[in-house]
Amino acid sequence: MVKISPQPTTQQPSIASLKALDAANFFLADVRDGLGPYLAIYLLTTLHWNAQNIGIAMSVMGIATVVAQTPAGALVDRTRRKRAYSIVASLLIALAAIITITVPTYAVILGGQAIMGVAAAWFTPAIAAITLGLVGPKALDRRVGRNETFNHAGNVFAALLAGLLGYYVSTKGIFLLLAAMSVLSSLSVWRIQEKDIDHQLARGCSEQDEPANDPTPSGWLALLGNRSILFFALACVLFHFANAAMLPLLGQRLAQGISAGASSAYMSACIIVAQLVMIPVSYLTGKLAPNGRKRLLIIGFAILPIRGLLYTLTSDPILLVTIQILDGVGAGIFGVLSILIVSDLTRGSGLFNTTQGAIATAVGLGASLSNAFAGMLLQQTSYHVAFLTLAALAFLALGVLWFFVPETGPRAN
């Protein structure tokens, strides 16, 4: 097993760095997820791609992230230039967004998605590491809840602007919005003061631990032999395989027979509803997490199959948008607890970010395969069959979590 640091540490970072971290999470909200379902609408209504090609395009970013995620996490553990690499990653996403609308060919769009995927791979472990290095493990629960709160608030802001741009200007304006938020996220990360980041704590070591590059019982072999980590990764793969394609499928369903502008407005409504719910859910999850991680995460997982089933029971756009409340609850819980559970399972190993990257690889694998799978399934069957199939996979993910992943919170030790 991975050794556990007996006394988690609390850092005392400057107010300026903590505010900059808030701003970084706010502006990175739209950046780290790329274009998401807006890309599907753009490809369907503006470029008139078929469902299968849209599924392939939606999968490219996820596949690129899968390839880059674990190396990115390992680099986060080793480097002290976390801020500089985060800025470079943000600017690469801005570049990819711009070339997608200026040279909208099949190869360029797929290439832009690949660039976004590689860049986005950096953010999950980097922001988690910077946060841990700023506040220490003792204060991590509430701080991750706060990070996710600002992240979802940023998504609401971006979705509102995207909806207005898509409806009143052009869907291409959404891509320019992504580029602008990338630049603002870079400025926010730069304002985090380097002296406030404890890079030893940021990689999951305690303050008294010496940096070690040699394999030890608390290193890679121990992590790979930790059944809890492996089953948690499997649950994440299944959960995101079921979850990732639901919103793009919903976007395509809502886009049938209406204009590109109206499609963007509906998609923004879906995102805004979910993100508004995620704001209080993330805050409360961070507050409740010390009392138990697993029971909260089970709630998040259980909501997904219910959501998939409900999508098949109505074709009313207002009701379909309302169902996104459930997405807000599930995603709000998962966003906070996934980081905390990895921190619990790797504390003292010095491999927090490497493991975070590996778990994110599992998430990216499930998400990228989900879009390709759902696109092919939709091409051959119907929206109802696609949603029910994803709901069944979500139920399987819940089973893995329930039976094979233990409680990891402080009170479990």
Residue 92: pLDDT band with limits 50, 70, 90: very high
Mean pLDDT of the chain: 84
Residue 298: pLDDT band with limits 50, 70, 90: very high
For the cut 80, the answer to whether the pLDDT of residue 215 exceeds it is: no
Percent of the chain residues topping a pLDDT of 90: 33
Residue whose tokens read 């395969």: 369
Exposed e or buried b for every residue in 220-252, given b needs 16+ CB within 10 A? Answer: eebbeebebbebbbbbbbbbbbbbbbbbbbbbb
List the chain domain ranges.
15-203+217-412
Write down the pLDDT at residue 413.
53
Separation CA 274–CA 324 (nearest Å): 5
> In Å, how far from its chain's centre is CA 79?
22
Write down the pLDDT at residue 390.
94
Average pLDDT over residues 316-325: 88
For the cut 90, the answer to whether the pLDDT of residue 395 exceeds it is: yes
Write down the pLDDT at residue 56.
82
Most confident of 48-62, 196-210, 262-276, 304-318: 304-318
DSSP 351: -
Write down the pLDDT at residue 391.
95
Those residues with Cβ within 8 angstroms of residue 217's Cβ, 6 or more apart along the chain or in another chain: 3
Q: What are the pLDDT digits (tens) for 159-169?
A: 788 778 877 87
DSSP 144-157: HHHHHHHHHHHHHH
Residue 23: pLDDT band with limits 50, 70, 90: very high
For the cut 80, the answer to whether the pLDDT of residue 375 exceeds it is: yes
Write down the pLDDT at residue 409.
73
Lowest mean pLDDT among 60-74, 141-155, 158-172, 328-342: 158-172
Write down the pLDDT at residue 222.
59
Reading the block at residue 234, the tokens are 């499997």
pTM of the complete model beyond 0.85 = no
Reading the block at residue 312, the tokens are 């098949």
Average pLDDT over residues 46-57: 80
Write down the pLDDT at residue 217.
38
- AA identity, residue 307: R
Reading the block at residue 205, the tokens are 């070591």
Q: Out of 1.10.3720.10, 3.10.20.30, 2.60.40.10, 1.20.1250.20, which CATH number does the structure's domain 15-203+217-412 have?
A: 1.20.1250.20
Write down the pLDDT at residue 305.
96
> What backbone torsions phi and psi does residue 180 show, to the nearest 5 degrees?
-65, -40
Write down the pLDDT at residue 234.
92
Residue 6: pLDDT band with limits 50, 70, 90: very low
